[in-house]
Chains A and B, each alone.
Chain A
Amino acid sequence: MILQARYQWGKTQKATRDAYGEALVALGRTNPDVVVLDADLSKSTKTALFAAEFPERFFNAGIAEQDMMGIAAGLAASGKIPFPSTFAVFAAGRAYDQIRNSICYPNLNVKIGASHAGLTVGEDGASHQMLEDIALMRVLPNMTVVVPADATEAAKAVPALAARPGPAYLRLGRPAVPVLFDDDYPFEVGRAALLREGRDVAILACGVMVASALQAAEELAAAGIEAAVLNVSTIKPIDQEAVTWAARTFGALVTAEEHSVIGGLGSAVAEVVAETVPVPVVRVGVRDVFGQSGKPAELLAHYGLTPAAISQACRDVIARRDARH
């Protein structure tokens, strides 16, 4: 069965990194094995909240992400559940070999909190806009990759990943984004959730692009096109059942992610579809380029990560499907 969930356009906005910081504190209160590490970005990653309440379980490694990952591995090998936290570009990029060899190869229980992912970092520019991390983390054996769509899901992912043995990568964003889900959202690692029923096409999205996908579906509905929307927040292990169900049911898929079109959610979906139910797939994402400075909304528009771009992709993929018949 495909997981189903409700969403709503609430009035509130909240960054997933804020939810992460609060969820770490809540988890720390119930689980004494949880420890948190940071690399001089605790005010930005929001691990400062944990540090304030549990100073003895917080370790600032300084600007030394490789060392932070190695320390986390050693803590995990000694029974702790470490959450090393920094910007996505420094976690997945700077410390890749440490994540590979010290954490994933021995399958250690390290949960990486990677904030400021994607274009929505904004003005800091390409050096800080990580658009390749899903690809880098997804390819590592043993790794779980989760990209929450909103603050509610981010908060639920923290204890869920802590309870799941093995390494995990939790991708978080900088800006406040719409809160889509209530506390009854049925988050499960490895399960996509159907947020909106459809008829003509399915949009599979993650992170900030879930809200954009829902907007696109509403625009399309006004034009008589019914698009299903799935929140595919776990990129690895990908929900094979949900992806094949969507491919079989709609025959045309669009993916949307704040990431390169190479190696991320779109690739994961295309891999499943190509091997099971080959149907047309159109990927919305960053087209193999680096970002640049700008406001988050400007950047999303500039690189084609908008509801309008998703709507157009839906029309295109429907046309390709129908041209086959």
Chain B
Amino acid sequence: MSGYTDEQLAQISNELRERVLQMIAKAGSGHPGGSLSAADIMTYLFYEVLRLDPQHPKWPDRDRFILAKGHAAPILYAILAKRGFFPEAWLDTLRQLGSPLQGHPSMKDTPGVEASTGSLGQGLSFGVGVALAGKLDQKDYRVYVLLGDGEVQEGQVWEAAMAAAKFRLDNLTAILDYNGVQSDGKVPDVMPLEPLADKWRAFGWAVWEIDGHNFADIRRAVTEARGVRGQPAMIVAHTVKGKGVSFMEHRAEWHGKAPSAAELATALTELHAHRQPAGDAGASGKGREGDDQQ
């Protein structure tokens, strides 16, 4: 798919953010912060890049999107429903007994979910396997893996990083949702990652560093990454945890907490204001409310 303006993508992304918060509020638990930070990247991928057929979720030639940071399941479910993989009504069953929408992604339960994730650090290895299979079968599908920043503290991620470079997996693009906040606090306080882009370069990856809320940035990096030959691609996307909701932005407490009814109402009002056609210029609002913490 293609042909969306940045403004249209921003509009879709904010609608998805609203849906995510509604889902988590209804479920009474879940992870809003990392869903909101990933919303723009995932909107771009699912609306402009990924070759998918929602009617045939197992189509062998489809592109694969693997949500390694599985706790961001709500944004994945919201986007899969919006793309038609399953009815939107399912979203109201998130985390409930018997629901096809598990608390973390389950490939056996949900159409369009490519990997069962949630135990952090495992998604990139899985993506390496899918990319290797694509090479073996001489398929031209591409594998996208979205990693969390705290997630790359897991040693397995770096095992997978070595393997992807060794096997010259130029059909693999990883994107790192670098929102700088994890469950226990700011990433540099919990376990510093810097120099992060240099680490991926040192592991043999082609690396981009972008603003993960700027669609022009995302478009350029994802497009250039597709052109790389002989090595995997890593896009380090600087994002804002809780992006779009002033009282959630940059705050670790919103890593894994459901909003109350009043908080949800405030958040929806803010997000809705962002997507008023006259008042919003799209994704260029990075930092606009980022420091406005309550």
Contact = CB atoms under 8 A, between A and B. Distances in A.
Interface in A41-65: 56-57, 59, 61-62, 64
Given A61-B163, A62-B162, A106-B106, A69 B125 contact: yes
Contact of A101 (B116, B129, B159): B116
Interface residues of B, number: 34
Contacts of A311: none
A102 B122 contact: yes
Contacts, number: 109
Please classify the interface of chain A as helix (H, G, I), strand (E, B), loop, or mixed, using the class held by over half of its residues: helix
B266 interface: no
Interface string A67-88: 1111111111111101000000
A233 interface: no
B229 interface: no
A56 B229 CA distance: 19
Contacts of B132: 59, 71, 74-75
Contacts of A98: 122, 125, 156
B163 A77 contact: no
A67 B159 contact: yes
A66 B159 contact: yes
A69 B160 CA distance: 11
B106 A101 contact: no
Given A35-B136, A66-B159, A106-B107, A78 B116 contact: no
Please classify the interface of chain B as helix (H, G, I), strand (E, B), loop, or mixed, using the class held by over half of its residues: helix
A100 B136 CA distance: 26
B19 to A, nearest CB: 26
Given A98-B156, A102-B116, A106-B108, A70 B129 contact: yes
B127 interface: yes
B130 A70 contact: no
Given A62-B162, A77-B126, A77-B130, A67 B118 contact: no
B159 A61 contact: yes
Given A70-B160, A73-B126, A102-B125, A79 B116 contact: no
B225 interface: no
A97 interface: yes
B62 to A, nearest CB: 11
Interface residues of A, number: 31
A98 B119 CA distance: 9
Nearest to A72: B129
Nearest to B105: A106
Interface string B101-126: 00000111000001111110111111
Contacts of A102: 115-116, 119, 122, 125-126
B119 A101 contact: yes
A97 B119 contact: yes
Interface string A210-241: 00000000000000000000000000000000
Nearest to A71: B129
Q: Which of A57, A62, A77 has the most CB of B within 10 A?
A: A77
A80 B126 CA distance: 13
A75 B114 CA distance: 12
Interface of A: 35, 56-57, 59, 61-62, 64, 66-80, 82, 97-98, 100-102, 105-107
